[in-house]
Chains A and B, each alone.
Chain A
Amino acid sequence: MGILRSRQVVGGRAESLATGQDTVDVQEFQTLYEENLGLIYRYVYSKVGNREEAEDLTSQIFIKAVRGVDHKRGAPSIQKWLFQVARTTIADYWRAYYRTTASSLEELLEAGWEGPTEDEAIFASAQPVERVQRILQALPEHYREVLTCRFLLNLPIRETAVRMGLTEANVKVLQFRALKRAADLEPVVTGTV
């Protein structure tokens, strides 16, 4: 993909940077960026559910990363650290948004809104699509169907109702309960208890 390709003009400089002790190696950062951008972006997206905020927060996370990156860490621990940055960035974002209702914020955080705290769980939740698939497989048929229609197929409520032979009011109840069951199943299915 050649990120930093436009840097060819200053290639000589990039090399000299790599020799400095505290400086950032452009090549290393390029690798870091290419390997983790998609992971981080999907992780953030699975928390906010929309592209605009996902892009904003992803940018913030990588800018913090550029400013604070420490190359004495090995690649896996840089990735772990990136996810920690992601986690705190998302938490700060929600904290700002819910600043007026501190109590419900605590509840949101308790409910794992900003992501799991254990390192392993962070990696598990970095694969949101796979996570969703596993949850879907574990759900009863009608729950699976309503969530598939609304989320994977992006169908409006009316079409979902027609397809399932229900009223729109039924669909609203069904999707609520399906997501509730999904939330209960999630830790079990994805092994993040």
Chain B
Amino acid sequence: MPGEDQERFEDYLGLEQYIEELQAGHVAHPPTELTPSQARIYRMAALFRSASPEGAELRPEFVAQLQARLEQELEEKQSVPTQTLPVVREKKPWQILKKPGHVSRRALLSGGAAVAASMVIGAGVERVAEQVAKNDTQKELAATGPLIQQGIPTTWHFVTTVALLQDAPVRFVTDAIIGYVVRADEDADVEDRGKIIAMSAACTHMGCIVQWQGSDRKYHCPCHEWLFTEYGKLESSRGYINPLPRLETRVEDGKIYVKVPVG
């Protein structure tokens, strides 16, 4: 096949860009239009990157967070057969099938996040201490109030523990939403101070997922370089977009939960 594997100047530049992104520790994806031979080259770059000093080291925070998350999953799994099933069986079909707000993680990751962001409007954390029975769906829906649009089923998603939440935001991922949880210090607005704040990571411009950077303590939007403070306020001065939408949080037994739409 003449020409198929011919190298062009742009190929060298494209690869160099990818390598630079990897070296900077950024999320980087190879271009979408690649020949199989080119795809193998990019795959090699990712493989070689994993042999770099940063590559194969697990962050202790990550190990601890995932561990806590999995414990939570195990606990929920235990409670499923005894508590949830009978409830579902009693429900009439039209009650169960109410899932208008379904958003797949796939859609979120690929820019559909604006949809998810629009489902959630700004929310305070006044209801932190609110007690909501974990398996009582009715009560939970009632407590949702105006924070997440009506009719969208929600669930309390375990993120991390109060003890593990240091001064950097902790990222969480659910099927429907990606977000951050952060402790509001002295530099936060008065009404937020001392609270635990959760926000969606979907940029309010186009829905790209913002990323926390510890170096300047800002969330960066990878698409149009919008900047947000650690509490989700818009930092850029070149225009106005909404702050990152807040999510409701709850602390119970030192564990931090965020109210998220069911994915």
What residue in chain B is nearest A110 (Cβ atoms)? B36
Shortest beta-carbon contacts, A-B, top 10:
A49-B46, A46-B50, A183-B40, A132-B51, A49-B49, A151-B48, A111-B39, A96-B106, A172-B12, A66-B73
In Å, the complex CA distance between A92 and B13 comes to 28
Q: Is B236 an interface residue (CB 8 A)?
A: no
What residue in chain B is nearest A58 (Cβ atoms)? B66
Given A24-B78, A97-B110, do A151 and B27 touch, yes or no (CB 8 Å)?
Answer: no
Q: Is B252 an interface residue (CB 8 A)?
A: no
Contacting residues, chain B, for A169 (C-beta < 8 A): 12
Q: Is B224 an interface residue (CB 8 A)?
A: no
What class of interface size applies to chain A in its complex with B?
35 or more
Contacting pair A154 B52 (CB below 8 A): yes
Contacting residues, chain A, for B33 (C-beta < 8 A): 101, 104
B1 vs chain A, min Cβ distance (A):
14
B236 vs chain A, min Cβ distance (A):
22
Contacting pair A108 B63 (CB below 8 A): no
In Å, the complex CA distance between A47 and B48 comes to 10
B181 vs chain A, min Cβ distance (A):
15
Stretch at the interface among B18-26, B89-97, B189-197, B238-246: B18-26
Given A37-B63, A50-B22, A133-B51, do A176 and B43 touch, yes or no (CB 8 Å)?
Answer: no
Known A47-B47, A151-B51, A176-B41; 5 more pairs at CB < 8 Å:
A51-B25, A107-B34, A129-B56, A132-B47, A179-B41
Stretch at the interface among A3-11, A70-78, A79-87: A3-11
A–B pairs, 5, beta carbons within 8 Å:
A26-B74, A42-B55, A47-B43, A113-B39, A157-B20
Contacting pair A49 B45 (CB below 8 A): yes
Contacting pair B43 A180 (CB below 8 A): no
Contacting residues, chain A, for B47 (C-beta < 8 A): 46-47, 49, 128, 131-132
In Å, the complex CA distance between A94 and B158 comes to 27
A92 vs chain B, min Cβ distance (A):
8
What residue in chain A is nearest B56 (Cβ atoms)? A42
Interface residues of A in 97-132 (CB under 8 A from B): 97-101, 104, 107-108, 110-113, 128-129, 131-132
Given A131-B47, A176-B7, do A7 and B71 touch, yes or no (CB 8 Å)?
Answer: yes
Q: Is B67 an interface residue (CB 8 A)?
A: yes
What residue in chain A is nearest B109 (Cβ atoms)? A96
Q: Is B54 an interface residue (CB 8 A)?
A: yes
Interface residues of B in 42-96 (CB under 8 A from A): 43-56, 58-59, 62-63, 66-71, 73-74, 77-78, 81
Per DSSP, chain B at the interface is helix
Contacting pair B7 A113 (CB below 8 A): no
Contacting residues, chain B, for A129 (C-beta < 8 A): 50-51, 55-56
| Contact partner, A63, options B15, B25, B73, Cβ 8 Å | B73
Contacting pair A45 B56 (CB below 8 A): yes
Contacting pair A98 B50 (CB below 8 A): no
In Å, the complex CA distance between A82 and B45 comes to 25
Contacting residues, chain A, for B43 (C-beta < 8 A): 47, 111-113, 183
Contacting pair A107 B71 (CB below 8 A): no
Interface residues of A in 165-193 (CB under 8 A from B): 169, 172-173, 175-177, 179-180, 182-183, 186
Residue among A97, A110, A151 facing the most chain B CB atoms (10 A cut-off): A151
Contacting residues, chain A, for B16 (C-beta < 8 A): 157, 172, 175
Contacting pair A154 B23 (CB below 8 A): yes
Contacting residues, chain B, for A182 (C-beta < 8 A): 44, 48
In Å, the complex CA distance between A94 and B37 comes to 17
In Å, the complex CA distance between A128 and B45 comes to 12
A153 vs chain B, min Cβ distance (A):
8
What residue in chain A is nearest B19 (Cβ atoms)? A150
Binary contact track A1-43/B, C-beta < 8 Å → 1, others 0: 0011011000000000100001110100100010001100110
| Contact partner, A29, options B41, B59, B74, Cβ 8 Å | B74
A159 vs chain B, min Cβ distance (A):
11
Q: Is B29 an interface residue (CB 8 A)?
A: yes
